Amino acid sequence: MNTPETTYVLSPVELDLLELHLGGGTDTLTLLDRPVQGPVTLTDAENTPLAVVGEDGHATALKPIARAAGPHWDPAVRRGAHDVAHEIRREVGPVGDVLALLVDAAPTRDELDALDGLVAGAAAVLVLVPASRRHPEPGHLGAPGLARVGTVVGDAVAAAFDGPVRTVVVPWADGAGLRWDDVATHHGADRVERLADHRTPPTAERVARLSTLWSREVGTLYPDAVAREVEHAARGARSEGTVVFFTGLSGSGKSTVAQALAAELDDEGRHTTLLDGDAVRQHLSKGLGFDKASRELNVERIGYVASLVAYHGGVAIAAPIAPFASGRARVREMAQAAGRFVLVHVSTPLEVCEARDRKGLYAKARAGEIPEFTGISSPYEEPTDADLVVDTSVTSVEAAVAQVKNLL
């Protein structure tokens, strides 16, 4: 298939929209509430061609979208709308009433107690869980947490309901013009109920007050003037910032582990910034080459931004190749001046990295088409000071994330 010359690099939000569309969740592709004028090739931040959009606004897949780790990436629940609709309609028939339960917030006991009445009369139930690549707002569940509570709801429905129940993680992007009624229909549902809408007013009021309970206790314990000082000190307090710096060959799995770690830490309420090597090349280091001096400057820029994040109490997760010990040492120095530094060497063997290559870069490097390619025509200096060494050819992404979290 000949691909058009025009390309469009997708943001994380737009990757969600493309994934939803390719799975059959929308009729035409809209990116950030703007219809795409085809023909155009859509790529990720690594410049991997993912799909071609024709003049009709419909996208045709070229390569699979890279998957990450975590409960929201479990292939048993992260399934395309077309497959879900086909399966559920095969079980209940074309006229069976399929209810979609939208779980976009942590359900209280109220909502779980209301399940019996909600599912009564339905032939099947789809528990739809929105999952976004975008970082959640502080205090809100991210995609991993929503996937876990979605499973809780699915299990509760299955215990109270005789018909088919499916929990489905749906790629989602707020503010992009999506409507749950339409998306649920594409998944095979006849109607949608948002579970959080069945929270009783007293419970909703108690949930809304959660964020102010601490301030009220401070106001009760201290005189007004003193309470203001206590609250001021609490707002100014910051936890120790951390830079988690992944290094390894292209295709080693460092970006996948870094993305999964960022999602988990975000879900735990940590302020996390992900600085992936390929994405940084699109913005922070655009225009730099791949000679040693340019690579060192790229790594130094990443280290500088990461150290700023750490200085302000956040967690910066960086995942460049960073092939040279001197560059990594400079990053360590900057990071330790701002907070804590954790170096993770993703030591996946070269032959495994080469076999995984989605873009054919290793083949081009071996053919001499890409000069100074790390691991082929340019050296990779393996770190001797890594805090953790992970080989993703023998260690799962989930296990690797757990090992890094243990260090933190």
Task: Tell me whether residue 113 is in a domain.
Answer: yes
Angle at CA of residue 108, ends 106 and 111, nearest 5°: 105
**What tokens were used for 273?**
């910034």
Task: Tell me whether residue 107 is in a domain.
Answer: yes
Residue 90 and residue 353: Cα distance in Å, rounded? 41
Contacts of 312 (CB under 8 A, 6+ apart): 238, 241
Beta bridge partners of 49: 43
Residue 101 and residue 113: Cα distance in Å, rounded? 14
Least confident of 70-84, 161-175, 180-194, 255-269: 255-269
**What is the mean pLDDT of the segment spanning 251-275?**
88
Question: Are both 24 and 132 inside the same structural domain?
Answer: no
Residue 28 and residue 23: Cα distance in Å, rounded? 11
Question: Are both 183 and 207 inside the same structural domain?
Answer: no
pLDDT of residue 270: 78
Question: Are both 246 and 214 inside the same structural domain?
Answer: no
**What is the mean pLDDT of the segment spanning 89-117?**
92
Question: Are both 391 and 265 inside the same structural domain?
Answer: yes
pLDDT of residue 347: 96
Residue at token pair 């739809």: 128
Residue at token pair 């967690």: 315
Residue 158 and residue 154: Cα distance in Å, rounded? 6
Task: Tell me whether residue 127 is in a domain.
Answer: yes
pLDDT of 389 > 90? The answer is: yes
Name the domain boundary from 236, 261, 289: 236
Residue 339 and residue 248: Cα distance in Å, rounded? 23
Question: Are both 100 and 182 inside the same structural domain?
Answer: yes
Question: Are both 164 and 250 inside the same structural domain?
Answer: no
Are the C-beta atoms of 54 and 66 separated by less than 8 Å? no
Question: Are both 57 and 104 inside the same structural domain?
Answer: no
Residue 356 and residue 358: Cα distance in Å, rounded? 6
**Shortest CA distance to 43 belongs to which of 279, 253, 318, 319?**
279
Name the domain boundary from 211, 236, 261: 236
**CATH at 391:** 3.40.50.300
pLDDT of residue 331: 94
Question: Are both 207 and 270 inside the same structural domain?
Answer: no
**Domain tally for the chain?**
4
pLDDT tens-digit readout, 6-55: 888 888 889 999 999 999 999 888 776 566 666 889 988 777 889 998 87
Question: Are both 304 and 260 inside the same structural domain?
Answer: yes
Residue 47 and residue 67: Cα distance in Å, rounded? 16
Are the C-beta atoms of 130 and 87 separated by less than 8 Å? no
Q: Residue 164: count other Cβ atoms within 10 Å of its Cβ.
A: 18
Residue 56 and residue 30: Cα distance in Å, rounded? 12
**Shortest CA distance to 141 belongs to which of 105, 101, 175, 172?**
105
**Shortest CA distance to 343 belongs to which of 312, 381, 395, 293?**
381
pLDDT of residue 47: 78
pLDDT of residue 362: 92
**CATH at 145:** 3.40.50.620
Angle at CA of residue 142, ends 138 and 143, nearest 5°: 165
Task: Tell me whether residue 219 is in a domain.
Answer: yes
Residues across the chain:
408
Are the C-beta atoms of 124 and 92 separated by less than 8 Å? yes
Question: Are both 208 and 145 inside the same structural domain?
Answer: no
**pLDDT band, residue 238 (cuts 50/70/90):** low
Host domain of residue 217? 203-236
pLDDT of residue 268: 79
Are the C-beta atoms of 175 and 17 separated by less than 8 Å? no
Question: Are both 38 and 82 inside the same structural domain?
Answer: no
Task: Tell me whether residue 271 is in a domain.
Answer: yes
Q: Residue 338: count other Cβ atoms within 10 Å of its Cβ.
A: 21
Task: Tell me whether residue 1 is in a domain.
Answer: no
Question: Are both 42 and 30 inside the same structural domain?
Answer: yes
